[in-house]
Amino acid sequence: MNKLTTLGTHFGSYRIESDGDEIVAVHGHELDPHPSDIGQAYLHRSELRVLRPAVRQSWLKDGPGAHPEQRGKEPFVEVEWDRAIDLASDELKRIRSRHGPEALFAGSYGWGSSGRVHAPSALLFRLLRLYGGYTDVWGTYSSSAAEAIVPYFLGMRYHAAIGRGTSWSVISQHTDLFVTFGGLRRSNTEVTYGGQGTHHTQDWMQKARKNGTEFLNIGPIRDDIDLQMNSRWQPIRPGTDVALMLACIHTLLVEDRVDNEFINRYVHGWNRFSAYVMGDSDGQPKSATWASTITGIDAKTIEHLAEEMSTRRTLINVGLSIQRADHGEQSYWAATALACALGQIGLPGGGIAFPFGAQGNVGAGQVRKRVPGIPIPPRPDTQPVISVSRFRELLDHPGQPYDFNGRSGTYPDIKMVWWAGGNPFHHHQNLNELVAAWERPETIVVQEPFWTPTARRADIVLPSSTPLERNDIGGAENMLISHGRAVDPPGDARDDYQILEMVAERLDLQERFTEGRTADEWVELLYELFRAENDWAPDYEEFRDAGYLRHPEMNEMGENEQVFLSEFRSDPAAHPLGTPSGRIELWSETIAVFEYEDCPPHPAWMEPYERLGGPESDRFPLHLVSNQPAVRLHSQYDHTEPSQGSKVAGREPIRIHPEVAKERDISEGEVVRVFNDRGSCLAGAIIDDSLMPEVVQLSTGAWYDPDSTGMCRAGNPNVLTRDKGTSKLAQGPSAHTCLVDIERFPGPAPRVESYDPPQFTNET
Ligand SMILES: Nc1nc2c(c(=O)[nH]1)N[C@H]1C(S)=C(S)[C@@H](COP(=O)(O)OP(=O)(O)OC[C@H]3O[C@@H](n4cnc5c(=O)[nH]c(N)nc54)[C@H](O)[C@@H]3O)O[C@H]1N2
Ligand SMILES: Nc1nc2c(c(=O)[nH]1)N[C@H]1C(S)=C(S)[C@@H](COP(=O)(O)OP(=O)(O)OC[C@H]3O[C@@H](n4cnc5c(=O)[nH]c(N)nc54)[C@H](O)[C@@H]3O)O[C@H]1N2
Ligand SMILES: [Mo]
C-alpha cells in the first residue's frame, strides 16, 4: 500500500504519496483551495542529483587555490564521506588559524528547505558561530532597500510593518481603490518564505472586487494583476514610480487637497519635504508636467489620479520589485509620503501597504505563532557584516572601504566560501563578473542536493537530502506542518544536519552543535517549545499522526482582521512610532547626518543609472523586467517539469510586444539574443501585447549556461543586470534597473548544457 506523508514548503503544503521507493503523486493539502503546481516537480527523478561527495580534480591533487579558473570546467572526483568532511574541516581550521575567522564567507544566502531543523543556512550559521564566526551578511535579495529605509521613517522593522499591515478582510470591506505599484501577481502569492499555508489571495481579491474594490495596476505589465479581476492598468516606465508619486503630491498641494490635519498631527518634516516637492529647494517643481516626461504618463492622467485618490478610500501598495532597483529606498518612502498627503493612514482600507503581490502571507494579519528554529548563537562582535548583495564586491575588493547604512567598513580578504541552501549563480547580478570574482577564494564548499550552476563551480560538493527525504517541522501563517520522510535519499546523500554534525565532530564541537540530540529529537523539541506557548496544541504523537495543525485564531480564509497603524492614528501620544519624533518622518535627521549623495534625508526622485527615456535608452531601447518565475521557485527544479515544460525553443521564454517583434522580424517560438554592454543570453520568443511596447519580460531562474564568450544559452537574465547597490544606505540589489536590446538569433542556436550532469574522473 502506498504511504502518505505531509510536506510543508515555501509554496504550500502537500500530501506526498510514495510506494516506498518513489514519489508517485503529489496532492495539494486538503485544506488548500488552490495548491501550487510548483510542487509537481517532486514527481520527477533527476539525473542531476549529487549522489556522492565530490572534489574538483585539481583541488584534490594540488590543494587549496589550485587552478581556480578551472572551477565549473574540470571534472570532479567522487570520494567517501569521511574524506570529504576531513578535507572541508581541515580547510576551515587552516583558514581560521592562518587568516582569522573573517577570511571565511558563510553568508550563504538562499531559499533552501523551509523546515526549521534542516534549514541549511541556519545550521551552517549555528556551527560556524560556535567556531568563532565568519564574514556574514545583512538583508535579503528580496527587500534590502525596504528593510533599510522603513525603520527610519516608520520606526519599526520592515517585517514588523508587514506583519502589522492591513488585512484582506478589512480591504474587502472598506477599500474603494487599491492602487498597486509593482503589481499583485497571483503566481508570486503562491510563495512565502519559511512556509506558505493555504492559498487565499485570489479568493480575497475576488471578494474585494465583488464588494466594489477597484484594483489599479500601475506598472509595465497588464497581467501583473489577473486579467479576470477586470482591473485598470496604468502603464508606467519602470523605475520612474517615484516621479509619479511626487507629482501626485504636487497636484494635491497646488489643488489644496492635502490633508493638513493629518500632516500636523502625525508627520515630521513635512515643510522641508513639501518645499522640495514644490521646487523651492531645488528650483524644479515636481509637477504633473515634469513627471510626465519621466514616466511617459500624460499630465492630465496624473492630475486625475491624484484627485481620484483623494476622494475615494484609497490603499497604496508597493510591491518589492520597485525597490529592487537603483535608489529603490525612495519608492517606499515616497509612497508613504503620498499616503500621508492623502491622510488615510490608520483608517480601515486606506493608507499604505507593503508588499501585497510579493508573497502569499501578506494581508493575513499577524497571529502567526512561529515554531521556533534551531537556535543560532549571537554574532561574535568582531564578525564583519556586509549588505548581502555586495558579495561579489567583497570577493573582488579586499582591503577596500565601503559605506553601508551609516557605517563604513573595509572588505576582508576572503579565502574560503561555504554555501548551504542558495544558488548565487542564479541570484546574483552580472554573473559573468561573479565568475571572475569566484576565482579569488582558495576553497569553495557547497552543500546541495542538485548539480546546480553553483555546485558545479565548487571545489568540494557535499550532497544533501531534500525535504522529501527527512523528517522536519515547518510553519505557515495558519498551519503548522509535520514534514514526514517520504522516500530515502538516493546514493550517499545525507541530511544537512548530519553533514554539519560530521564537520562539528572534526572541530571538536559535536556536543555543542547537537546538544546531544538527533535531528528527529530536535524536531520534537521545537514542537514542544511551540506547545509550551500554545496550550491548545495536542501532544507530539497526535501532531505527527495528523501531519498538521491549524491555528484556531485564524478565520476560514486564513487571516486575522487588523488595520495598519490604527492605534497610532487613534492616539499618537499613547502609541508613538519608534522614530526620533514618534511620527512618520518625511525628513530624517539621522539620514541627513550620513550625507549620502545617493540617499537624501527626504523622499526624492533620483535619476537611475539607466531607464527608458533617460540615460542609455538611445543605445538600449528596451527595459528588461526579470521578475519571479510563475512555474518554479527561483532556480529550484528548473531542470525538471513543470519548469522544463514552460521553455520555448528549449530556453527560458521571453515576452515581447508585437510591435517590437515586428520591427526586429522575430516570430513566436524563435530563439532571440538579448544583449547590452554587460552581457547577453538566448531566450525563446513569446509575442504578447500585455506588455508596454518598450518592455520585455524574462523571468529569473534558468540555470546559468555561459558559452566561451559568456553568452548564457539557457536564458538567465542575470548576465544582463548590473551589480550595483541601490544606494549607500541599503546597498541592496538593483536587478530591476536594466536596459537591453534584442534580435533574432541568426543560424542554429547552440544546445543548452547546464542540465547535463557534470564530468567525473578517477584520476587524481
Ligand atoms: N535578475 C533578478 N535576479 C534576482 C531577482 C530578481 O527579481 N531579478 N530576485 C532575487 C530574489 S528576490 C531572491 S530571493 C533570490 C533567490 O535566490 P536563491 O534563494 O539563491 O534561489 P533558489 O533557486 O531558491 O536557491 C536555493 C538553493 O537551495 C537548494 N536547496 C533546496 N533545498 C535544500 C536543502 O534542503 N538543503 C540544501 N543544502 N540545499 C537545498 C536548491 O537546490 C537551490 O539550489 O534571487 C534574486 N535574484
Ligand atoms: N511563483 C513564484 N512566486 C514567488 C517567487 C518565485 O520564485 N516563484 N519568489 C518570491 C520572492 S523570493 C520574492 S522576493 C517575491 C518578489 O515579489 P516582487 O518583487 O513584488 O515581484 P516581481 O515578480 O519581481 O515583480 C512583480 C512585477 O513588478 C513589475 N515591475 C518591475 N519593475 C517595476 C517598476 O519599476 N515599477 C512598477 N510599477 N512595476 C515594476 C513587473 O511588471 C513585475 O511583473 O516573489 C515571491 N514569489
Ligand atoms: Mo526574494
**Can you tell me which atom of ligand 2 is nearest the CA of 221?**
42
Known catalytic residue: 134? no
Q: Is the CB of 624 under 6 A from ligand 1?
A: no
Report pLDDT for 1: 86
Q: Is the CB of 180 under 6 A from ligand 1?
A: no
What residue owns the CA closest to ligand 2's atom 47? 188
Report, as ranges of residue numbers, the positions in the chain whose pLDDT lies below 50.
none
d(CA 650, CA 749): 10
Ligand showing the shortest atom-to-Cα distance for residue 188: 2
Q: Which of 141, 142, 324, 374 to mutate to test the pocket of ligand 1 (most atoms within 8 A of CB)?
A: 141
Q: Is the CB of 323 under 6 A from ligand 1?
A: no
What residue owns the CA closest to ligand 1's atom 15? 427
Ligand showing the shortest atom-to-Cα distance for residue 632: 2
CB atoms within 10 A of CB 669: 12
Opening angle at CA 492, ends 491 and 493, nearest 5: 95
What residue owns the CA closest to ligand 2's atom 43? 627
**Residues in CB range of 20: below 8 A, 6 or more apart:** 3, 487
Opening angle at CA 289, ends 285 and 293, nearest 5: 110
Length of the chain: 764
Q: Are 335 and 329 in contact (CB under 8 A)?
A: no
What residue owns the CA closest to ligand 2's atom 17? 358
User: Ligand 3 centroid vs 140 CA: distance in angstroms?
Assistant: 7
User: Ligand 2 centroid vs 578 CA: distance in angstroms?
Assistant: 29
Side chain identity, residue 294: I
**Can you tell me which atom of ligand 2 is nearest the CA of 695?**
42
* CA-wise closest residue to 605 among 260, 107, 248, 307: 248
d(CA 633, CA 643): 10
CB atoms within 10 A of CB 233: 19
User: Ligand 2 centroid vs 719 CA: distance in angstroms?
Assistant: 18
Report pLDDT for 197: 86
**Can you tell me which atom of ligand 2 is nearest the CA of 236?**
38
d(CA 594, CA 601): 9
User: Ligand 2 centroid vs 320 CA: distance in angstroms?
Assistant: 6
pLDDT digits (tens, 9 = 90+) for 320-348: 999 999 999 999 999 999 999 999 999 99
Domains present along the chain, CATH in parentheses: 3-43 (no CATH), 54-139+370-475+485-546 (3.40.50.740), 144-367 (3.40.228.10), 615-744 (2.40.40.20)
Report pLDDT for 479: 87
User: Ligand 3 centroid vs 634 CA: distance in angstroms?
Assistant: 8
Ligand showing the shortest atom-to-Cα distance for residue 628: 2
d(CA 529, CA 531): 5
Known catalytic residue: 109? yes
Q: Which of 635, 674, 724 to mutate to test the pocket of ligand 1 (most atoms within 8 A of CB)?
A: 635
Q: Is the CB of 427 under 6 A from ligand 1?
A: yes
d(CA 671, CA 552): 52
User: Ligand 3 centroid vs 197 CA: distance in angstroms?
Assistant: 18
User: Ligand 3 centroid vs 358 CA: distance in angstroms?
Assistant: 9
**Can you tell me which atom of ligand 2 is nearest the CA of 355?**
20
Report pLDDT for 364: 83
User: Ligand 2 centroid vs 425 CA: distance in angstroms?
Assistant: 19
Ligand showing the shortest atom-to-Cα distance for residue 449: 1
Report pLDDT for 46: 83
Q: Are 363 and 204 in contact (CB under 8 A)?
A: yes
**Can you tell me which atom of ligand 2 is nearest the CA of 141?**
14
Report pLDDT for 552: 78
**Can you tell me which atom of ligand 1 is nearest the CA of 454?**
44
User: Ligand 1 centroid vs 38 CA: distance in angstroms?
Assistant: 14
Q: Which of 7, 114, 636 to mutate to test the pocket of ligand 1 (most atoms within 8 A of CB)?
A: 636
Report pLDDT for 560: 75
Q: Is the CB of 448 under 6 A from ligand 1?
A: yes
* Residues forming beta bridges with residue 27, ordered by sequence position: 15
d(CA 176, CA 181): 16
**Residues in CB range of 298: below 8 A, 6 or more apart:** 292
Q: Are 165 and 317 in contact (CB under 8 A)?
A: no
Q: What are phi and psi of 568, to 5 degrees?
A: -60, -45
Q: What are phi and psi of 65, to 5 degrees?
A: 85, -5
Report pLDDT for 186: 95
Q: Is the CB of 735 under 6 A from ligand 1?
A: yes
Catalytic residue among 14, 42, 59, 111: 111
Report pLDDT for 45: 79
User: Ligand 1 centroid vs 110 CA: distance in angstroms?
Assistant: 5
Report pLDDT for 470: 97
Q: Is the CB of 640 under 6 A from ligand 1?
A: no
Q: Which of 427, 636, 719, 737 to mutate to test the pocket of ligand 1 (most atoms within 8 A of CB)?
A: 427
Q: Are 642 and 38 in contact (CB under 8 A)?
A: yes
Pocket of ligand 2 (CB under 6 A): 142, 181-183, 185, 187-188, 190-191, 218-221, 224, 236, 238-239, 241, 319-322, 324-325, 355, 357-359, 625, 627-630, 633-634, 736
- Taking the C-alpha atoms of 271, 159, 142 and 404 in order, what is their torsion angle to the nearest 10 degrees? 60
What residue owns the CA closest to ligand 2's atom 22? 627
Catalytic residue among 42, 109, 168, 276: 109
**Can you tell me which atom of ligand 1 is nearest the CA of 718?**
1
User: Ligand 1 centroid vs 701 CA: distance in angstroms?
Assistant: 8
Report pLDDT for 731: 98
* CA-wise closest residue to 723 among 320, 390, 323: 390
